[in-house]
Amino acid sequence: MSNNQANSQKKEGVTVNKLHQEAPPLLSIQDLNVWYELKRFGFVHAGYVQAVNNISFDLREGETIACVGESGCGKSSLMKTILGLNWPTKGDIVFEGKTRLTELKGESLRHYRSQIGYVQQDPFGALAPFMTIRQILEEPLIINGVTDKAERAQRVYTALEEVKLSPVEEYLGKFPHMLSGGQQQRVVIARSMIMNPKLLVADEPVSMLDASVRVEILKLLRNLQVKHKLAVIYITHDLSTVRYFSERIFVMYAGHLIEQADVDTLLDDPRHPYTQALLDATSDPDAANAHTYRDIPPGEPPSLVNPPTGCHFHPRCPHMIPGECDVHEPPYFEPNPGHLVACWLHKG
């Protein structure tokens, strides 16, 4: 694909995805924008927070993508919109090639949400403290119309077995505070799987856990994905776990998707200056790094209420091209097949 073709596809909101093309997309994000209106005194319009801008991609059955970037880059806004908790300002989300999020309401919206499991970052905050584990897992079944008590009991039992909380009988009557952090997160995962979803959104699922149990939880998620052929969106800022858990990586900065590629290509050969800085800032257990200076770009991410012109990263970029990066927003360029980067350095 030429640069001109890649640029044209971005402008038209068409996904450029060269992996898993033999299967139709389970989820298709089409030129998605999510802006939050700001109001002064509760009613006077005062602008917008431009959380997500012009993002397009496809996700296929059984595929895992990682969405990475620092806090405030738009990862959570993207995730909440996919879950149907936010509404697109522009663009659309298409599920299974036929269900458009912007056309859903009532029962159809509830059914759409039931097809997407959600693993929260903080397991203790995600579980109602006054409900037993049985009640927590039964709740989504009741909400979605599973009226048969025997069926609910069987599905709760199976869900707890799948997340390795056994003997199951010992956990059903417990409350969340009676479990460890790792056990609580297993309950969260069990709840996310209780409706047999086709897509799982994992929002930094191990960041609140002790290091000793992080690998166990990631292995559990990977095993569930393989067993149920789940598509997974893995939201994280921890690049040390991405290579193990994901096939593709999307890098976000200030609401924009600035680089995407398969996991090995992007981690071994990052092309955007921000991605390079993000990788340089990743912690490494090598003791020699204690004496190594890391040249990280200065400054802070820009305001999403009044973002800079051109490339949003240009005020911090050590390779900024005056008259280009600070004026014109870069389209996607393709330095290698399937590796897309929104940076004027790759115009050539």
Evaluate whether residue 315 is within a structural domain. Answer: yes
Domain assignment of residue 247, yes or no: yes
The reply to whether 189 falls in a domain is: no
Residues contacting 61, CB < 8 A, separation 6+ = 23, 26, 198, 229, 231
Flag whether pLDDT at 14 surpasses 70. Answer: no
Query: Could you list the residue range(s) of the whole structural domain that residue 245 is in?
Result: 3-81+239-283+296-346
pLDDT beyond 50 at 19: no
| Closest to 199 (Cα-Cα) out of 54, 48, 63, 104 | 63
* C-alpha span between 198 and 248 (Å, rounded): 18
For residue 235, list its beta bridge partners.
67, 203
What's the whole-number average pLDDT of the chain? 89
Is residue 311 a contact partner of residue 318, using CB atoms and an 8 Å limit?
A: no
* pLDDT value at residue 294: 67
Taking residues 25-37, report their average pLDDT: 96
Q: How far is CA 73 from CA 64, 304, 308, in A?
A: 20, 9, 14
Residue 9 falls inside a structural domain: yes
Q: pLDDT band at residue 42, thresholds of 50, 70 and 90?
A: confident
Please compute Rg for the chain using Cα positions: 21
Q: Tell me the two tokens of residue 293.
A: 């200076």
Q: Does residue 165 lie in a domain region? A: no
Q: Say if 68 falls within a structural domain.
A: yes
Residue 249 placed within a domain: yes
Give the separation between CA 127 and CA 132, rounded to whole angstroms: 9
- Residue 96 in any domain: the answer is no
How would you class 307 by CB atoms within 10 Å of its CB: exposed for 0-12, middle for 13-18, buried for 19 or more?
A: middle
Express each pLDDT in 149-197 by its tens digit: 999 999 999 999 999 999 999 999 999 999 999 999 999 999 999 999 9
Determine the 3-state secondary structure of 322 from DSSP: coil
Q: Give the number of domains in the chain.
A: 1
